[in-house]
Chains A and B, each alone.
Chain A
Amino acid sequence: MQIIGPDVLVFGVDDVPACHEFLTAYGLDAQDYTPEKGGLFTGLDGTGLEIRRRDDPSLPPALKTGNMLRMQVIGVVDEAALEAVQAELSKDRQVLRLADGSLRCQDDQGFELAFRVTTRKPLDMPGEKVNAPYHPARAANAIGVSEDMPARPRSLSHVVLFVPDVDVAVGFYRDRLGFRITDTLTGAGPFLRPQANPDHHTHFFIRTPVYMQGCEHLAFHMGGPTELMLAGSRMIRAGFESFWGPGRHKFGSNWFWYFKSPLGCNVEFDADMDIHDDDWAPREAPMGPEAAQAFLFQYRDKWAPTGGPGGPKP
């Protein structure tokens, strides 16, 4: 099935202005925003997060756990792909076709879903270029970093869900929607990618008790590790709080930096994720600190060594 991945994640929150403060600092663009009604917060390709008040009557019902994720809007390549999703899911559940052409239904564990022909706009922006000995990637005189260079989230990358039953989740996303399992962290769960997206994962499921069902974190892709480090450092200096990172994951190879958020889940910057095709042989490793990252660092304030003892004169 020609699914690309989440176009938009919809949240019903208890503090809309706090989400606005956080998400604009994170680098998303606020569209049609008011403190009363919320708005859409987009990355550079138009994918994003829709933030509404938790009592907004236009939202689908909330999860019983209090988690603020209300719906995933999943983009597919074209109308034929949308019809394929409709035909498949209509076999055993109600699938509504809304006036705007999108589909609405639930997965097998009560997560609300919408499907639509994707509205993301492919970006004509180069990724980070690295100069290696004998293989420079940047032209002469092109500098690699500057303090004020842009570091904005480019595209919604993935959503990670706490699920009561991983087998049920796999039965739906793999067996019904055609997602591929790329790797599995045993004890936690599988990473999945839809067929029309080569990214290592758009979804990762973590087995939890029923009372935790919801969104564990979401992530946007940055243009490279330097953008990720700059964006995260700017967040820290503005008073926001890191949860995990910066570091680099093993499965997916993506650089990561997670920040706590008023969305009630972590919000991650990621960069340089592996891409795969159907020749890939999925790996497995037991979940734990070893498998979760190749390396992990912690932010510290800027500092500089100098020549003589005692440091620079003030």
Chain B
Amino acid sequence: MLLCHLDELPDGSTRGFKVAGLRCKVIVVRRGDRVYGWRDLCPHYAGGTPMAWKRDAYLNGEGTHIACAAHGAWFEIDTGVCVQGPCLGKRLTRVPLEIRSDGTVAMATSGR
């Protein structure tokens, strides 16, 4: 499943993508030449709820963590672990991503 091209994802930026068949968006965070994918579901409440306060606004002010704007939970960008706020110790659900040779970012095909 193709999400975007690296050119549409400047270093340090974050975007949410709707994906057919998934009930939540997929958050993609770019850090240098790495991309991290997470389900847009805050684990504070059972079942999870979407986290941004505005389209694509997934990071805290300093850009150091993914933040849930409902009650301020902070998650590490590389591990998805909540380090502050209501879901302390819980983690986001990873969406494995791959960067293809042509620079497109895609959800890794299953089995990888």
Contact = CB atoms under 8 A, between A and B. Distances in A.
Q: Do A and B come from one complex?
A: yes
B54 A241 contact: yes
Interface string A1-29: 00000000000011100100110000000
Contacts of A67: 72, 85
Nearest to A260: B69
B54 A240 contact: yes
A208 B44 CA distance: 12
B26 to A, nearest CB: 16
A13 B54 CA distance: 16
A18 B61 CA distance: 8
Nearest to A54: B61
B97 interface: no
B48 to A, nearest CB: 13
Contact of A262 (B55, B62, B69, B84): B69
B71 interface: yes
Nearest to B85: A66
A131 interface: no
Contacts of B70: 243, 260, 265-266
Given A259-B53, A262-B53, A241 B86 contact: no
A214 interface: yes
A262 B61 CA distance: 8
B4 interface: no
Interface residues of B, number: 22
Given A18-B61, A66-B84, A264 B69 contact: yes
B71 A216 contact: yes
Contacts of A261: 53, 69
B84 A65 contact: yes
B61 A13 contact: yes
B88 interface: yes
B57 interface: yes
B75 interface: no
Contact of B52 (A208, A211, A241, A265): A241
Nearest to A53: B61
A212 interface: yes
Interface residues of A, number: 28
Nearest to A240: B54
A266 B69 CA distance: 7
Interface string A249-261: 0000000000111
Contacts of A66: 72, 74, 84-85
* Residue among A239, A240, A264 with the highest chain B CB neighbour number at 10 A: A264
B8 to A, nearest CB: 18
Interface string B39-57: 0000000000111111101
B49 A68 contact: no
Nearest to B56: A239
A15 B62 CA distance: 8
26 contacts: A14-B60, A15-B61, A18-B57, A21-B54, A22-B53, A67-B72, A67-B85, A162-B71, A162-B86, A211-B88, A212-B85, A212-B86, A239-B55, A240-B53, A240-B54, A241-B50, A241-B55, A243-B49, A261-B53, A262-B53, A262-B57, A262-B69, A264-B67, A264-B71, A265-B71, A266-B70
The 8 closest A-B CB pairs, nearest first, are A14-B61, A264-B72, A15-B61, A260-B69, A260-B53, A66-B84, A239-B55, A260-B70
Interface of A: 13-15, 18, 21-22, 65-68, 162, 208-209, 211-212, 214, 216, 239-241, 243, 259-262, 264-266
Given A66-B74, A208-B86, 4 more contacts: A209-B88, A259-B53, A260-B52, A260-B68
